Structure 1
Amino acid sequence: MTIENPRILLVDSYDSFTHNLAALCRRSIPGCSVHIIKNDELSIESLRPNLRYFSAILVGPGPGSPDNAEDIGIVRDLWKLQDDDLLPIFGVCLGLQSLALESGGTLGRLKVVKHGQISQVQHTSSDIFQGVGEVHAVRYHSLHVTVPTGGSIEELGWVDEEENGHVVMAIKHHRRPFWAVQYHPESVRTEGGGCEVLVNFWSLAQGWSRAAGRRQTPWNPSIAGKVGTLWPYNHPQRTNKLTAPSSKNLLISRSVHLPQLKSTRICEYLGVLEERSKFVLLDSAASPGRFSVIGSLLPTSLQVAYCVGDSCVSLISGNHTTSDELGAHDIWQWLATYMRSKRVANGNPSIPFWGGFVGYLSYELGLPTLEVASIHTKKKAHPDVNLVFVERSIVLDTDTGTLHIQSILPNDESWVDKVVQDLTDLAHSEEQSRKPTAVLSLSPISTVILPDRKRYIAKIDRAKECLFSGDSYELCVTAQTKISIPHHQTKQSTTSTSWDRYLQLKKLNPAPHSAYLRLHPTTLISSSPERFLSYSRPPNSVCQLRPIKGTIRKADGITRAVAEKALAGSPKEVAENLMIVDLIRHDLHGIVGDNVTVSQFCGVEEYETVWQLVSVIEGQADPSAPVDEELGWNVLKASLPPGSMTGAPKKRSVEILQHLEDKEREVYSGVFGYWDVGGGGDWSVTIRSCFKHDDLSTKPSFNSNEEWTIGAGGAITALSDSEAEWDEMILKLSSVLKSFGITPPTSY
């Protein structure tokens, strides 16, 4: 008997690799449907009557321990199913540990944790390993099981290693149709033990079902939603065709070749020196960046501000602020609805930005999507969403020296023509760009509060304990530096010292994803090296994420070969990168479905001042599926906060980090970028950055201060050395501190 249209129930223990396992399942079991439930979503009593609609169960991985009821949920009950309720089950990682524990095995800690490590698995070449050759498997575990001799479970796979001895990698139950593996078959770097093992499991499951006389009951639509969500998910905003843009929404554009004109000079022409005005620049300040986006804002340009937990969004235009109730929608839906009304289709497709929202999204904006409540209740100084709608823009192609002057305002040709003429005259004049202050150094009465070394190292040690206990595979621990500068030290209040600081940062640490965003009450300057997410215009949008984990500074003797050995040849650096790659694949699979690929894994890329270890993950919706015109926007929502700034599994890691870090991160380690009126977008990770709060309701007094915040940190793994992690954090911090004329001590 071959089961047609099989249905698989996937039990998710709040892991960040679950959708990868669902995708592997669909590749391995032809024509299957996958339903996903959380391990605490249903009781065994409510689930048991509906098991007859399923052919098999997959018990996925997750953080925590199988002997903790809150971590394992319903899973422990699945191993006790009897008679007509019994069906084949395949467990992964936490699933294997739970099966072993419920079958008389014992649980212990590895002496050396294996997170993102690849091991060659020895196996019996039988059961789920029938016909399988060499298995090189990715491991994410700090706990392991011991199988009792002569018990109800049998070992099928193992590793023997010097640091941990004999470690069980796969088991089966003698009398019940249960199989499990300790490693992660769904990881992008598992070879030989992924699809091959799932195919064998499915063959064994069908054989058991035939022998037991068990048949999958035909699907009853009335139980849809009662037994988990069908994956890939059917997003309600998907339609059969794109929304047609209004005939009034047209782009006016002219291009002019002015290679001698730089982005900073254009910004000063547009009034960036007026500190109390709004201004936005997304600057490709170094290779491999290409396009710089400069907004020419009007006094009435719409600024959208929102704080997590608020019931309304603030709309700021000139000196007027109004509120719009969100009602049943969230801020993501509100912004998508607004952008739908502004859609433009007549622009040059080779120009990435025609107009649209520019600004930042905070780290904390991603918490509601993860269903994580913030434990910090301090009143917010900075909005979680801070965007301005740009109607007039200048896009500089740094490769060709071509400027694209654009407007989406009706009948705005005269402005476009004037700017073209002004910039042409400026480029051919002898006038030079204003010289910034040499270095805006601080006076003795300024205050610089650096992270406390002992406290930071203690955080790292506590983070590592969470890794050893199985609660996380990787944790990005951060700290904040505060700089307070008396206003009477910073020239006149109408002259932009923040612009001078940006120019210093750009000079000292040029980066492909730099930014100067002055959106009161927040000013953000950044020299970020890391693009987070870019998405092309619909239809057939392609979403690309480029996580960076692994950096080495350029210096004499640091050739490409040396950098590749230090980065791609380092188990620690590769493990950090791999964990985030697998996490990102999960986030992408959750929105686009099956079509996710890793087009580059741990490639060493050359930047202006560093070598970086960069992976590239891409996702695209099935072309035969309904169109999701906000596909990239939905991927952005599902992917925040950036995995490279949290760790994995993301939900548990974020919860742990809230307790390790004593305040909100706010702007730091969120993202900044744009959402274009054509539907494309590009967002970078807010690192190598600093931000300040501007209170424009009052003029600065002699005794008031300008307050800047700088965040810095690093990914902590089981291989991390606490002292080395402190040094790495200080190195990242120093690149921004230098723009203030500060060189932090090497140790204190």
Structure 2
Amino acid sequence: MGASKVLLVDSYDSFTHNLAALIVEAIPSSEVYIIHNDQLSSSEVIESLQYFSAVVVGPGPGSPEISSDVGIVKDLWHLPQSSLLPIFGVCLGLQSLAVENGANLKRLEVVKHGQLSRIQHDGDGLFEGIVDAEVVRYHSLHVQAAGSAPKLQELAWADDGAENGGRVVMALKHRFRPFWAVQYHPESVRTDGSGLQILQNFWSLARRWSSDHARVEVDWSEGATALVGQPWPHHSPCRTQASQQRSVVTTTTIHAPHLTAPQICEISGVHNSPTDFVLLESRAQPGRYSIIACLQPTSLKVSHHVGDDFVLLRRSKHSAFERLGSDIWTWLAAFSRAKYAVGGLPNIPFWGGFIGYFSYEIGVHSLGCKIRHQGGHKHPDASLVFVERSIVVDTMTGDVHIQSIIPNDAGWVAATALTLRTAANIADAEVSTAKCDRVHASSFMLPDKAAYINKVNLAKEHLYAGESYELCVTARTRVAVPKSYPGSSCASSWDLYSTVRSVNPAPYGAYVRIHPTTLVSSSPERFLSCSRPPYQKFQLRPIKGTVRKGCDMTRERAENILNSPKEIAENLMIVDLIRHDLYGVLGKDVKVTKFCGIEEYQTVWQLVSVIEGSPHFAQGDQTCDNQLGWEVLKRSLPPGIMTGAPKKRSVEILQNLEDDARNLYSGVVGYHCVSGAADWSVVIRSCFKYDPHPDDPDGYDKDEWVLGAGGAITALSDAEAEWDEMEVKLQSVLRAFKLESLA
């Protein structure tokens, strides 16, 4: 007997793949096929149902009373008798079932987004064997079926208290049709074991109904594949060719504990503006390695703007356009696959490869959202340099690794090692150019407080209406600084970076100067990292919840603040969203290895979760795509902590709420190694500027640095407090410009 096939209808939610994974776990030997609620017509969906054992209607943003939010879902509850089959609804699925059968739809007195509730139930059927259930709720709307929907029977409910609306329906069934649904999210990582059991019970009920009604699924056909596609997960990794030619890494290591990454940058010519230069620096835990790219005039620079069907390739003064076969991600994977290298030190994360950034908008484009603000096309949405020579500083051991992936390049490696040994003999102080008194703003333009507070309140209205669970609302600050020229007394972008790293030390600092953009970042947050093949592990470490240290802020007090329902809910939403993103590429091997752990850093305590996943191999197959990291990055952008959930609808709302493009802010910066490893951080606590070409006679006499800041807006947010939080975040970079106040 073949695998049981389940059709999962996705209403553009960010938890759908979590639900798919739970279905596969609950139903042995099952295959899950996912379609969007507007992908097929009602007649096409009805035609496809003959191939399936059951349908699961997933959650999603919006209202069951808005046709565009639910699509064909509303028609599933009115199937003709000849097409009838068991259906299970989740959240929006329950609300649609209820509304289509006459129930009243209302707003909750108190929105439940990422909130835990203990539910009561009748113990029969869907809840058989479930004694106690603590579940996660993501909803601002609810249904009232009693009296208005006689065809529906309540199975479970939550007591929100008399002051908050009292009894709220948590599960329903249709009295005459094989339809069951729950209001809460059984697939959430914080829903207890009843989440799995509820799906198992549904499957038992579904099989029993099908047996009683002699329903038999039709054998799968090419026509079925044409309608609904391949089973989840859709991505099938390309296989590494064992016979492919590979570069070999040449490495020399010296021990130089007093030689810092900024000093090596100065030795390597960072002051030679406007030449390109790249540094990724770890100056605080949990970061450890700093990477200096030793660029040459012939180093390849790759840039791409959203909407273009080509990449721009630059070497020295030569440029060329290359058409994209599919998209920028496919191009990067193919290029990287051809440059695959071996032989580097296994403990060093980077041997060579791409370093650079991806903008927020490139992630918006990957979601299929219309980009309202293009940003004037000044800054590329992807800007990367292919690094063949590099220096990696291990800040824990004091070792400095000089490496090259260029064939027969041992001479450069040896000469550079000698230069650094000489410098190490006199390097016993911090970098000389960290002059915190040199960077002074001549003017600045801050966000309008009243406008920002209005955006926060508008965002909350979207949350109350069920459009999103949280929205990260941001705004831009612009700071003008006199332009630095060779030989001038004005502060350079390197001086600014030196100041930023001094006033705001961070584990994921970056100084990326790739024409026409310069990025200065002092990010506290890693976004995505992956280890080397063949046994790759992908890890995301979202931070939601931060308390600054101070004389009156003890660890105990910080823990009390960070363990509040609001902070836990914000973190939980992003954890569930990230699980969905990883499940979508890797398959079912995704785990939350840490949930809301409190980590201590130099200046703050933070609420950190860790989500990890590995590619799912077929039995006996241990080969993998050494460039899978590009696909995972594409499917994870833009960072969920900078959008909200569900991601696509949240991004669409933010496109209308915000006045301009985010550009680099809310994007990612980092590297993709020639070994297939990668590490990317979120571009926050940062600033960036546009550099006209040095030969441009209309070049500006001032540099305009752009800073982004904002915060996650939830139904519990206070608009004034959100403005204050944004001001605190801005200060971490504004202090480098001698701007101590937004007043």
* TM-score in terms of structure 2 length: 0.97
SS in 2 for 1:368: helix
| 1:130-169 alignment, distance < 5 Å | 130-149=128-147, 151-162=150-161, 163-169=164-170
Q: Which residue of 1 aligns with 2:580?
A: 586
SS in 2 for 1:329: coil
Alignment match of 1:547 (pick from 542, 545, 549): 542
Instruction: Tell me by how many angstroms 1:376 deviates.
Output: 2.1
Alignment match of 2:513 (pick from 506, 513, 518): 518
Tell me how far apart the structure 1 counterparts of residues 176 and 658 of structure 2 sit (CA, whole Å). Answer: 48
Worse overlay, 381-390 or 146-155: 146-155
* 1:381-406 Cα deviation digits (max 9, x unpaired): 10000000111000111110001100
Q: Which residue of 2 aligns with 1:373?
A: 370
Q: Which residue of 1 aligns with 2:278?
A: 280
Instruction: Tell me by how many angstroms 1:227 deviates.
Output: 2.2
Q: Which residue of 2 aligns with 1:464?
A: 460
Q: Which residue of 2 aligns with 1:299?
A: 297
Q: Judging changes above 3 Å, is the alpha-carbon distance between structure 1 residues 630 and 544 closer, same or farther for their aligned structure 2 residues? A: same
Tell me how far apart the structure 2 counterparts of residues 40 and 434 of structure 1 sit (CA, whole Å). Answer: 60
Tell me how far apart the structure 2 counterparts of residues 653 and 73 of structure 1 sit (CA, whole Å). Answer: 19
Q: Which amino acid aligns with 2:277?
A: F
1:536 is the counterpart of 2:531: yes
Tell me how far apart the structure 1 counterparts of residues 224 and 91 of structure 2 sit (CA, whole Å). Answer: 30
Tell me how far apart the structure 1 counterparts of residues 557 and 519 of structure 2 sit (CA, whole Å). Answer: 35
Report if the CA contact (8 A) 2:515-2:691 is conserved: yes
Q: Which residue of 2 aligns with 1:60?
A: 58
Q: Which amino acid aligns with 2:482?
A: P
Q: Across the two proteins, how many residue pairs are aligned to each other? A: 736
| 1:558-577 alignment, distance < 5 Å | 558-567=553-562, 569-577=563-571
Q: Judging changes above 3 Å, is the alpha-carbon distance between structure 1 residues 275 and 700 closer, same or farther for their aligned structure 2 residues? A: farther
Tell me how far apart the structure 2 counterparts of residues 520 and 335 of structure 1 sit (CA, whole Å). Answer: 19
Q: Judging changes above 3 Å, is the alpha-carbon distance between structure 1 residues 623 and 45 closer, same or farther for their aligned structure 2 residues? A: closer
1:685 is the counterpart of 2:682: yes
* 1:385-430 Cα deviation digits (max 9, x unpaired): 0000111000111110001100111111111111111111111126
1:238 is the counterpart of 2:233: no
Q: Which residue of 2 aligns with 1:615?
A: 609
Instruction: Tell me by how many angstroms 1:700 deviates.
Output: 7.8
Tell me how far apart the structure 2 counterparts of residues 242 and 469 of structure 1 sit (CA, whole Å). Answer: 51
SS in 1 for 2:365: coil
Report if the CA contact (8 A) 2:302-2:311 is conserved: yes
Instruction: Tell me by how many angstroms 1:441 deviates.
Output: 4.3
Q: Which amino acid aligns with 2:559?
A: E
* TM-score in terms of structure 1 length: 0.96
| 1:310-709 alignment, distance < 5 Å | 310-326=308-324, 328-429=325-426, 433-442=431-440, 446-487=442-483, 492=487, 497-567=492-562, 569-624=563-618, 627-698=624-695, 704-709=701-706
Instruction: Tell me by how many angstroms 1:44 deviates.
Output: 1.2
Query: Please, what is the CA RMSD of the aligned residues?
Result: 1.7
Alignment match of 1:256 (pick from 254, 264, 268): 254
Q: Which residue of 1 aligns with 2:48?
A: 50
Q: Judging changes above 3 Å, is the alpha-carbon distance between structure 1 residues 410 and 143 closer, same or farther for their aligned structure 2 residues? A: same
Percent sequence identity over aligned pairs:
54
Q: Which amino acid aligns with 2:571?
A: N
Q: Which amino acid aligns with 1:630?
A: Q
Where do 5+ consecutive residues of structure 2 fail to align? Answer: none
SS in 1 for 2:208: helix
Tell me how far apart the structure 1 counterparts of residues 697 and 521 of structure 2 sit (CA, whole Å). Answer: 24
Instruction: Tell me by how many angstroms 1:556 deviates.
Output: 1.4
Worse overlay, 212-221 or 662-671: 212-221
Instruction: Tell me by how many angstroms 1:705 deviates.
Output: 1.5
Worse overlay, 553-562 or 600-609: 553-562
Worse overlay, 589-598 or 549-558: 549-558
Q: Judging changes above 3 Å, is the alpha-carbon distance between structure 1 residues 579 and 118 closer, same or farther for their aligned structure 2 residues? A: same
Tell me how far apart the structure 2 counterparts of residues 322 and 493 of structure 1 sit (CA, whole Å). Answer: 34
Report if the CA contact (8 A) 1:487-1:701 is conserved: no
Q: Which residue of 2 aligns with 1:179?
A: 180
Worse overlay, 217-226 or 262-271: 217-226
Tell me how far apart the structure 2 counterparts of residues 260 and 67 of structure 1 sit (CA, whole Å). Answer: 66
* 1:422-450 Cα deviation digits (max 9, x unpaired): 1111111268642333323436xx22001
* 1:597-643 Cα deviation digits (max 9, x unpaired): 00000001111111111100001012335623222221100000000
Q: Judging changes above 3 Å, is the alpha-carbon distance between structure 1 residues 600 and 431 closer, same or farther for their aligned structure 2 residues? A: closer
* 1:217-242 Cα deviation digits (max 9, x unpaired): 2222342131244102242x422x44
Tell me how far apart the structure 2 counterparts of residues 621 and 413 of structure 1 sit (CA, whole Å). Answer: 36
Tell me how far apart the structure 1 counterparts of residues 415 and 486 of structure 2 sit (CA, whole Å). Answer: 32
Q: Which amino acid aligns with 2:544?
A: K
SS in 2 for 1:58: strand
Instruction: Tell me by how many angstroms 1:244 deviates.
Output: 4.3
Instruction: Tell me by how many angstroms 1:164 deviates.
Output: 2.4
* 1:354-390 Cα deviation digits (max 9, x unpaired): 0000010000011222111111245211000000011
Q: Judging changes above 3 Å, is the alpha-carbon distance between structure 1 residues 702 and 407 closer, same or farther for their aligned structure 2 residues? A: closer
Report if the CA contact (8 A) 2:57-2:93 is conserved: yes
Q: Judging changes above 3 Å, is the alpha-carbon distance between structure 1 residues 702 and 209 closer, same or farther for their aligned structure 2 residues? A: closer
Tell me how far apart the structure 1 counterparts of residues 127 and 268 of structure 2 sit (CA, whole Å). Answer: 66
Report if the CA contact (8 A) 2:539-2:610 is conserved: yes
Q: Which amino acid aligns with 2:471?
A: L
Q: Which amino acid aligns with 1:462?
A: L
SS in 2 for 1:718: coil
SS in 1 for 2:192: coil
* 1:490-542 Cα deviation digits (max 9, x unpaired): 77469861111111111111000011111111100111000000001111211
Instruction: Tell me by how many angstroms 1:558 deviates.
Output: 2.4
* 1:87-120 Cα deviation digits (max 9, x unpaired): 0000000000000001111100011110000100
Q: Which residue of 1 aligns with 2:18?
A: 20
Q: Which amino acid aligns with 1:694?
A: D
SS in 2 for 1:190: coil
Q: Which amino acid aligns with 1:577?
A: N
Q: Judging changes above 3 Å, is the alpha-carbon distance between structure 1 residues 343 and 441 closer, same or farther for their aligned structure 2 residues? A: closer
SS in 1 for 2:653: helix
Report if the CA contact (8 A) 1:440-1:741 is conserved: no
SS in 2 for 1:541: coil
Tell me how far apart the structure 1 counterparts of residues 3 and 453 of structure 2 sit (CA, whole Å). Answer: 53
Q: Judging changes above 3 Å, is the alpha-carbon distance between structure 1 residues 182 and 228 closer, same or farther for their aligned structure 2 residues? A: farther
Tell me how far apart the structure 2 counterparts of residues 455 and 527 of structure 1 sit (CA, whole Å). Answer: 27
Alignment match of 1:114 (pick from 112, 115, 128): 112
Tell me how far apart the structure 1 counterparts of residues 700 and 732 of structure 2 sit (CA, whole Å). Answer: 29
Q: Judging changes above 3 Å, is the alpha-carbon distance between structure 1 residues 101 and 32 closer, same or farther for their aligned structure 2 residues? A: same
Tell me how far apart the structure 2 counterparts of residues 537 and 43 of structure 1 sit (CA, whole Å). Answer: 43
Q: Which amino acid aligns with 1:380?
A: H
SS in 1 for 2:6: strand
